[in-house]
Amino acid sequence: MGTLAALEYHLTSYRRTWRSTVFSSFALPAMFLIAMGVTVGSYVDARPGGGLGVPYLDYIGPGLLASTALQVAVGESTWPVFSAFNWIRSYHAMRATPLTTGAIMRGHLLYLALRTALAAVAFLLVLLPFGALHSWWALAAPLPAVLVGLAFGAPTFGFAAAVDSDGYFAVLFRLVVVPMSLFAGVFFPVESLPAPARALAYASPLWHGVELCRAATLGTPTAWGVWAHTAVLLAWIAAGYALALRGFTHRLED
């Protein structure tokens, strides 16, 4: 019950701001698909022996879906968490009630999962008129998208709880988020990367989410198998949950 009470706080806040997310949920994905999938994709598709097996738009569409989940998770697990500790101190206000530290954290993580799911469903609706959905399994694509969001959001909760300045988020973006978005199979197969970079891509949660989303929308097998990719994402979530709980406990109870 405590987790649901914490979730209710975030949903109540979202009721006042949801209109600002409509543009980013529909218009931005559509423009990006046109810019990359249609415009750049026409050059990629014109090359003989492209090797993707599908039109470039159909290839990057599910990758962008997973990447969007990552971006939503980043947005919900950095400044909102930091401000709840340091600026508006809403976590401290919650802790003054019967809510436990774990319930406070889980409520926010559950809100992150819901925001990620909504963004993933919106992206699927954008992909539909482009003809990029080739399987009924596409309906399941929001599930790996949510796993990607939690796999990145949970450890970032712990990071946001530990830092004493929001300036550290710039480091997180430059050294983790941007490289992961560029080199985790969203825009091109990771097999074309050098071995060290390919190993980092395999270790990242985004690549596993991209593989699952692409398999769902195209109706094709994944590189490692569905359960292997899911297991890696669940391992990231479990480790991130433990890290986040430790950080929240330190800030709210020590």
Q: How far is the C-alpha of 161 from the C-alpha of 247, rounded, in Å? A: 5
pLDDT tens-digit readout, 229-250: 999 999 999 999 999 999 999 9
Please tell me the least confidently modeled range out of 26-35, 78-87, 184-193, 229-238: 26-35
Please classify residue 201 by burial: count the beta carbons closer than 10 Å to its beta carbon, then call 0-12 exposed, 13-18 middle and 19+ buried: buried
Query: Mean pLDDT over residues 16-38, rounded?
Result: 78
What pLDDT is stored for residue 34 in this prediction? 84
Long-range contact pairs involving 27-32 (C-beta distance under 8 Å, separation at least 24) = 29/64, 29/68, 29/122, 29/123, 29/126, 30/126, 32/64
Token couple for 46:
């014109």
What pLDDT is stored for residue 48 in this prediction? 67
pLDDT tens-digit readout, 86-120: 999 999 999 999 999 999 999 999 999 999 999 99
Please classify residue 32 by burial: count the beta carbons closer than 10 Å to its beta carbon, then call 0-12 exposed, 13-18 middle and 19+ buried: middle
What pLDDT is stored for residue 228 in this prediction? 96
Q: Where are the alpha helices (DSSP H) in 79-204?
A: 79-86, 90-95, 101-127, 142-162, 168-172, 178-182, 195-203
Q: In this model, does residue 49 exceed pLDDT 60?
A: no
Residue percentage of the chain with pLDDT more than 70: 98
Number of domains in the chain: 1
Residue percentage of the chain with pLDDT more than 90: 70
Amino acid found at 176: V
Domain boundaries, position 186: 2-253
The pLDDT confidence band at residue 51, using thresholds 50, 70 and 90, is low
Predicted TM-score of the model (pTM): 0.92
Query: Mean pLDDT over residues 147-171, rounded?
Result: 95
